[in-house]
Structure 1
Amino acid sequence: MLVREVMTAPVATTRVDATVTAAVELLALHGLSSLPVVDSDHRVVGVVSVADLAATVVPTAGRACSGPVLDEPTRARVVAEVMVRDPVWARPTDDVGTAAARTATAGVRDLPVVDLGGHVVGLLSRVDLRRRGARRRRDRTSGPPST
């Protein structure tokens, strides 16, 4: 099975000059654990994850809220300051098993999927890989139809 068959596409991205606040909002809006970070030509230059942002997100004491609240100094920070540069990535034509092994080896949850020009075309997440695994188990146990 190929990465393009299970990846999430299209995928939300963020720019290096986006604020941390904007990245947190995008992650929450799309229910993602990471975002590919792109340059002005939409080429992958990094990845920013919930874990990368965790140090910049602080709860506000005594205030009920539905999500993380950023303190004032953090609001001015940009994604370039917290992202992982030169991320591990996959191509749409890569084998899913090979890409899954790459996530394990690199210790990452998600892989940006890029075309030959380095442009983002999708994201391969742990959720995508779990869905693939469930599909494979279902296919193996269902067997051929009865006649």
Structure 2
Amino acid sequence: MRAREIMTSPAVTADPDTPVREAVALLIEHGFAGLPVVDADGRVVGLFTEYDALHGAREGNGVVTTVGQVMTKPVEVVSPETTVVAIGRRMLTDRLRCLPVVEDGVVVGVVSRRDLLRPLVRHDDAIAAHLRALLSDYAGHRGRWTVEVVNGAVTVSGTFTDQAERGVITALARTVPGVSEVDCRSAHTMAR
């Protein structure tokens, strides 16, 4: 797997003259760890990270600073063809949270730690985890049901107080993004 397959694209960027407050708003709004800082030609000249934002706020003493004054530079970049293994090694070794992806000198995307983790989790696993959390909250953190998910089809197995509770569990399951169908089975149905 390569950077081009997992990167966030197009990249949200800042320029050196962007006020720190605006760049922080972009970080928060998009949930990013960092923004590539690009010049007028789209070439990466730095990286504005959460650390840079905090450092800039501390050093600013109330004065609005620009991204160019606090950005990290020089910045490490990868190409769209860089392997995920190589990216992971660089992130771990250098304690990086994101790397700009550059092609022909121009930023085309960003790879974050979260992007590296996504391929490790199957879609069905994410659905199951989300539904298990909902059911745990509903049941007061007593493990009353098991959850299986195959291609978005959910099977909830266990003991249901009555038909109304079965309906509530079905409705809860349908609120989870990616669920295509729901089957609630009583514990004695499973034994067949």
- Classify the TM-score, shorter chain: 0.7 to 0.9
1:72 aligns with 2:62: yes
How big is the shift at 1:55?
2.5
**Gap regions ≥5 residues in structure 1:** 59-69, 139-147
Secondary structure of 2:105's aligned partner:
coil
**Superposed, which structure 2 residues align to 1:18-97 within 5 Å?**
18-57=18-57, 72-73=62-63, 75=64, 77-97=65-85
Structure 1 vs Structure 2 CA RMSD: 1.7
Aligned residue in 1 for 2:94: 106
- Structure with larger RCO (C-alpha < 8 A, sep 6+): 1
Q: If each structure's helix is expressed as a fraction of its own residues, which one has the higher value? A: 2
Counterpart amino acid of residue 19 in structure 1: P
Give aligned pairs, total.
122
Partner of residue 123 from structure 1, selected from 100, 104, 110: 110
1:2 aligned residue: 2
In the superposition, the TM-score normalised over structure 1's length comes to 0.77
The structure in which a higher percent of residues are strand is 2
Q: Structure 2 length as normaliser, TM-score?
A: 0.60
Find the residue that maps to 1:114 and give its secondary structure. strand
Give the match's secondary structure for 2:97: coil
Unaligned runs of 5+ in 2: 126-192
Q: How far apart are 1:56 and its partner, in Å?
A: 3.1
After superposition, give the CA deviation of every residue in 1:122-145 in whole Å (9 maximum; x if it has no partner): 00001001112224xx7xxxxxxx
Q: Which has the larger radius of gyration?
A: 2
Question: CA shift at 1:71, angstroms?
Answer: 6.5
Q: Is the 8 A contact 2:55 2:70 kept in 1?
A: no
Q: For residues 122-141 of structure 1, what are the structure 2 equivalents within 5 Å?
A: 122-135=109-122
Name segments (4+ residues, structure 1) moved above 3 Å: none
Residues 22-73 of structure 1: CA distance to partner in whole angstroms, max 9, x if unpaired?
A: 1111111211110000011010011010111112337xxxxxxxxxxx9631
Kept in 2: contact 1:11–1:123 (CA 8 A): yes
Distance 2:30 2:44 in 1: 19
